[in-house]
Amino acid sequence: MSEDALRARGVSHHVGTTQLLHEIDLEVGAGEFVAVSGPSGSGKSTLLQTLSGMSRPSTGSIELGGEELTALGDEQLAARRLHRIGVVFQQPELLRDLTMLENVVLPGRAARRASRAQVTARARELLERMGVADLESRFAGEVSGGQAQRVGICRALINEPEIVFADEPTGALDSRAAAEVLMLLQSIAADGTAVVMVTHDPRMADGADRVIELLDGRIVPPVAA
């Protein structure tokens, strides 16, 4: 396998006296598609939030492309999330007063890596790739859930992240739209971007390269063949 996009060692997470994650060790290779499965309350979303830098671990280390995220200050960590990490949520939470194109362009402009014209061109390329180019002038209330999720994926990719985290990205979609989103995530990984997807749906998990089962905040060891 190619070099790791993400490496976690001994990651635990506490909220008060409650321990939600227990000594998680995990590596995700560049271009690998990993699904995190498990029952409700097993710690899946907490793990995703912690690995993506949205929440700091109580103990342990997390490296993104060899850089130790847990050693960064809040502003530095926010910059890494903007430039190097993409996140797709169950509900895309698109800004309702912006068009689909403007929603995708917004984090690209915030990153200040390219001109407005360059960012807009990339946003249009992503919308085309995700099959929603004809919606660029629509607003959030004018598109379906599946269409909004595709736009959310475009937004997550606008700054060419090294890894994309997806938290139940198909939980609010019908089976057809869910299958389409799964194919899009697979194509992202095939292009070399690591993908970590939290899902409770075994059909979605089966579409990943590897499935990690979480139970009570611990990774369940794989069953020997």
Class of domain 4-219: alpha beta
- Residues 23-44: tens digit of each pLDDT: 999 999 999 999 999 999 999 9
- Residues 152-195: tens digit of each pLDDT: 999 999 999 999 999 999 888 889 999 999 999 999 999 999 99
The label of the residue with tokens 């001994």 reads 10
> Domain ranges in the chain?
4-219
Asked if 36 and 48 count as a contact pair (C-beta separation under 8 A), the reply is yes
CB atoms within 10 A of CB 223: 6
Confidence of residue 4 (pLDDT cuts 50, 70, 90): confident
Indicate the pairing of strand 4-15 with strand 194-198: unpaired
Confidence of residue 225 (pLDDT cuts 50, 70, 90): low
Confidence of residue 224 (pLDDT cuts 50, 70, 90): low
Entry pTM = 0.93
Three-state secondary structure string covering 92-140: CCCCCCCEHHHHHHHHHHHHCCCCHHHHHHHHHHHHHHCCCHHHCCCEH
- Is the pLDDT at 1 greater than 90? The verdict is no
